[in-house]
Chain A
Amino acid sequence: MKNVRIVMVGDVDAGKSTILGRMLVDLGLVTPTKLDELETSSAKRGVPIEYSFLLDAFQLERDQAITLDLSRIWVRTPQAEFVFVDAPGHRELIRNLLSGASEVDAAVMVVAADEGITQQTRRQALFLRWFGFGSVLVAVNKLDLASDPRATFEERAAQVRTFLDQLGMRPRAIVPVAARSGDNIVRTGPLTAWWDGPTLVDALGTLERASSQDDGPLRFVVQDVYRRDGKRLIAGRIESGTLVRGEHVTFWPLQTGARVVEISAWPHVLGSAGTDASIAVELDARVFVDRGAVGSRATDAPELGHVVQTTVVWLGADPVYAGEALRMRLGTREIPVTLQRIEEIVDPDTLEPREADVLRSGDVGVASLVARELIAADVNVPGSSIGRFVLVRGGAIVAGGRVDVVLGRARGEGATNVVAMTSSVERHERSARNGHTGGVFWLTGLPSAGKSTVAMAAQRMLFERGRHVYVLDGDTLRTSLNVDLGFSDEDRSENVRRTAAVAGVFADAGFIVICALISPFAADRDLARAAYPNAFHEIYVACDLQTAEKRDVKGHYERARRGELAHFTGVSSPYEVPAHPDFVVDTAVHRIEESASALLEYIETHVGRR
C-alpha cells in the first residue's frame, strides 16, 4: 500500500507531537514496555505522561518539551498507512519545517484553542501555500482547557475559515480534539460528545497521495553519464511524463537531440518508463549531453531564458540584497546567478505584499535572478524539479524558490508544434561530393583586432582552392537578420545565438563557415558551439587593447572614449578572453597575411584536407 505523507504544522506548543503520540497509543501501536518507559521519562521530568516523548527523542527536546527537528513516524490504521512528518513550530526552525513540507502529499495544521491563529501559524500557512498546497486539514486542539469546548471550537473554526480564505486556501475539514485526554483523535470522547463530524483519524483517511505525473510533459533530468561495455548511458530520473524506447528526445538548454535506443533499469531493459523512474538511456547519436541537461519531447519543451522571476523563501542567517552573486541549483544543474531585483515581500501579518529591498530569514518574496548561461525552466509543471530551486551561498543552501516567469528570451507562442525533420541527404554524402567536411570557425576578439580582415583573406584563399566557404560577418548581419538588436548584454547574446544558428545550417549544408563576431561573453560562445557541436572551432583573434585602439578602423574607440558609445567592448563593456580556444591567431605580432595563412592551414586540417 502506498502511504500518504503528511506534514504537521502549527505554533510551538500547539500540541503537534502530543497529537501524534496520543494517536500511536490509542491505535494500540505502542507496546506496554514502551509505555512504561514513557512514564519513567515523564516522571523524571516531573510531568504527567508526556505523549510527545514518543517523537521528541532528543534529551534537549524532552527537557524543554519542544520539537527541534523533523521527525518521521509511520502509522498504520485499519484504513490507511501514513508517514507523518512532525515539524517544529519555532520561527528559528523554519528550515526544518520547510524541509518537511517539501516531501509530503498533505498538511495538517494544529491550532491551540486557547491561542487561536498566531503570527507563526500565519507564516506557516503562507509557506504551505507557497509549496502549492490548496487545502489543509485543521485540528483545533486543547479543548480540555476551554470552559465551553463547543463554543470555543466554533469560534476558532470561524477564525480559521476566514484566515484560510484570505490566503486562497480551503480547509479540508476542521476537527475538534483534545490530545492530552485523547478526545476525538481516534475515538470521540466526553469533551467532544456534541460533535457529529469525523475524528481526526477518520478525516486523515480522506487525504490522498499526490497523483502520478505519467500524463504530464516528459522531463528526464540527467544526473550523470556512465560508460559501460562501450555504451554511453545517460543516467537520470523521469520527473514527469513517460519515456518510450525509440522516441526522439531533445536535451535542454543546449537543444541537442537524439533517439533513445535503450532504456536500462539494470538488470532489465524496458520498453518504456514512467514518472519517478530512475533509469539510464542509450542514444543513437553521440550528441553532447551531461549532468544538468533536461530531456523533453521537441513539442513540449521547457522555457528558455536568461532571467527568471521567482518566489523565494530566504533561509540564510544573513540577509540578502539585490546585486549579490549566488549559485542556483535547478534540477541537477548549478548555475551562477545574480539577484537582480527584489520586487516585494509578503507581510506575514496582513498577508499583503509590500515593497522591500532586502530579504531576511523567513521572508517570502518575489525576486528576479539573472544568469549568463541560458536557463531551461518550467513554470507549473507538477513534479518537475526545473520549476523549483535552491540558492547557495558559500556552499550552504540559503533559500528555496519557485520559478514563476521565464524572461530574457521569450520563445513566445511559436515553436511548440515543431518536430525537426531528418534530412534525405546525409552529411557524409555532402562531404564526399565537396571533397571536404563542413564546419564553423568562430573568430572572436576585440573590435579592430582584425577578425573580418583575416576572415576575408582566408575565405579568398580557400575559395581559390575550390572549397565551399562563406564568411558570416557580425556587422553585416546586423544590417539584415539582426537589424532589431542593439548592444545591451541581452541583445549581444541574441546576436550570437542567431548568427550561430545560421552558421550551423551552412555547416550542415557542407560549407566551411567563418564567423567574425566580437562575441565578448564566454557563455554566449559556448552557446554558439552548441548550435553545431560536432565541428565548432573557437578561434581567438588576439590583439592587445592598445594596438586595436591605435588601429581603430571604424573610429569607434575614439567615440567610445568620448563617451558617445555605451556598451563598447574593451572600453565600456567587458571582453572575456577565451580560456581554452581551439586556435589562436595573434594579429598584434603577425601581419594579416601571416595570420590568414595560419588560419587557412588550421581550417584545411579540420575539414579533412590534410
Chain B
Amino acid sequence: MPGLDYLDELEARTIFILREAFSCVSPLAMLWSIGKDSTALLWMVRKAFVGEVPFPVVLLDTGMEFEEVYAFRDQLVAQWNLPAANELCPPESTVDPTLPPAARHAARKTAGLRSLIAREGYRGIILGIRRDEQAIRAKERIFSPRHADGSWDPRSQPPELWDYYSYDVPDGAHVRIHPLLHWTELDIWRYTLREQIPYVPLYLARKGKRFRSLGESNITFPIESDADTLEKIIAELEVTRDPERAGRAMDNESEDAFERLRTTGYM
C-alpha cells in the first residue's frame, strides 16, 4: 500500500496512538458513546489489535439515550463480540445545581466517569473526541493528564513533541487518550462509508430531519436535512457552515458552558 491516501494516513496515526496507549498505560478502558466517532474508533481498535478489543468499552449511561442507540449497541456487541460494559450515571439531584439545565445532564456523565475510574482504578481512558467539534476541544492534547478528581488544567498542558506523549500520572490520577483529535466530522463519515462501518440510523434524514450529533434524547435536537444516505451526508457537510454541535443544548446555553463542563472533567 505505498502512497497512503488521506484517510489511510489518519487511520494509521490513530492506530499508532492506540498501540502507544495500550503499551504504556494500564489498566485502560474506552468510552463508547455509540455515536459515529467512537464507533469508527472502535473499528480502528480492532485494526490496531489485529481483530481483538483488548480493553473494556464502556457506555456512560444516563438512561436517556435514544432507543435506537441502545438497540444499535446490543446488535454491534453481538456482531463484533465486544467486551462492553454499562456504567449507570448518578441522578441529576447529585450534580452542581448552578449549571444551566442541559449541562446538568452532561455533569451526570462526568460524575459517572469519575466513579467508574475510582472503582476500577483505570489509569487511562480512551475517548473519541475531535478538535474540529468545538473550540475548547481544539486545544486538547492527544494524551491529556487529569487530576485525581478528573479535572483538566488547560493552562498547564504538557508539551507534546512529535509522537512523544505524556502518560505518567500519579496514583489516583489518569490520562485521557484522544486518538481521533486530528479527524474532522467529514473525515469520519468518509471513513465510515469507505470501511462500511455500522452506524445508528438516526444520523440519516427521515421526513426532512436528521441528527448530526447524538446526545441524550431530551437535550439533543435534529437539524433540517434531506441527507438519507452517507453519500448525501458527506455532500451536505462539504458545503455547510453550521457547527456540528448546534443541536446539543448543553454546549450553547452560555458562552462558557462547555469550558466549565470540560475543566471539571467532561469528555
Where the two chains meet, the residues of A that have a C-beta atom closer than 8 Å to any C-beta of B are 1-3, 28-31, 33-34, 37, 41, 44, 54-55, 57-60, 68-74, 95-96, 98-99, 102-103, 212, 214, 223-224, 226, 228, 233, 235-237, 242, 264-267, 270, 272-278, 280, 291, 315, 329, 332, 385, 388-390, 392, 395-397, 400
Contacts and interface: CB of A to CB of B under 8 A. Distances in A.
B161 A390 contact: yes
A74 B19 contact: no
Contacts of A28: 241
A28 B241 CA distance: 8
Contacts of B3: 212, 214, 274
Contacts of A400: 159, 161-162, 164
A237 B161 contact: no
Contacts of B11: 278
B19 A57 contact: no
Contact of A224 (B22, B134, B157, B259): B22
B50 A280 contact: yes
Interface stretch (B41-49, B95-103, B202-210): B41-49
A55 B135 contact: yes
A2 B9 contact: yes
A278 B154 contact: no
Given A99-B160, A397-B164, A235 B19 contact: yes
Contacts of B256: 59
Nearest to B23: A224
A69 B154 contact: yes
Given A223-B19, A237-B16, A266-B46, A385 B139 contact: no
19 contacts: A1-B6, A57-B134, A57-B138, A57-B139, A72-B132, A74-B132, A99-B159, A102-B161, A237-B16, A242-B2, A274-B1, A278-B11, A278-B12, A315-B159, A388-B162, A390-B162, A397-B161, A397-B164, A400-B159
Given A31-B242, A59-B259, A396 B166 contact: yes
A85 to B, nearest CB: 10
B157 A264 contact: no
Contact of B50 (A34, A226, A242, A274): A226
Contacts of A315: 159
A248 B134 CA distance: 47
Given A31-B241, A224-B22, A73 B138 contact: yes
Contacts of B12: 237, 276-278
B168 interface: yes
B226 interface: no
Contacts of B23: 223-224, 291, 332
Contact of B168 (A267, A385, A396): A396
Contacts of A278: 11-13, 15-16, 19, 48
A102 B22 CA distance: 23
B151 interface: no
Given A226-B50, A270-B1, 6 more contacts: A72-B131, A102-B161, A266-B51, A276-B8, A395-B169, A397-B161
A57 B245 CA distance: 15
Contacts of A54: 135
A98 B50 contact: no
B264 interface: no
A34 B242 CA distance: 9
Interface string B113-150: 00000000000000000011011101101000000000
Interface of B: 1-6, 8-9, 11-13, 15-16, 19-20, 22-23, 46-52, 131-132, 134-136, 138-139, 141, 154-155, 157-164, 166, 168-169, 184, 241-243, 255-256, 259
Nearest to B46: A266
Contacts of B50: 226, 228, 233, 235, 264, 266, 280
B3 to A, nearest CB: 6
B80 to A, nearest CB: 12
Given A31-B242, A237-B16, A278-B48, A103 B6 contact: no
A385 B47 CA distance: 23
A37 B255 CA distance: 9
A167 to B, nearest CB: 21
Nearest to A99: B160
Contact of B154 (A58, A265, A277): A58
A599 B3 CA distance: 56
B136 A96 contact: no
Contacts of A70: 139
Q: Which of A29, A41, A273 has the most CB of B within 10 A?
A: A273
Contacts of B132: 72, 74
A596 B188 CA distance: 68
Contacts of B47: 265-267
Q: Which of A57, A73, A400 has the most CB of B within 10 A?
A: A57
Contacts of A329: 164
A339 to B, nearest CB: 18
Q: List the 6 closest pairs (A to B, CB-CB), nearest first.
A: A274-B2, A395-B168, A57-B135, A278-B15, A95-B159, A400-B161
A223 B20 contact: yes
Given A30-B241, A212-B4, A276 B139 contact: no
B157 A69 contact: yes
Nearest to B22: A224
Contact of B4 (A224, A228, A277, A332): A277
Contact of A72 (B51, B138, B255): B138
B42 to A, nearest CB: 13
Given A31-B241, A68-B155, A102 B168 contact: no
Nearest to A244: B2
Given A99-B159, A223-B19, A71 B135 contact: yes
Contacts of B6: 1-3
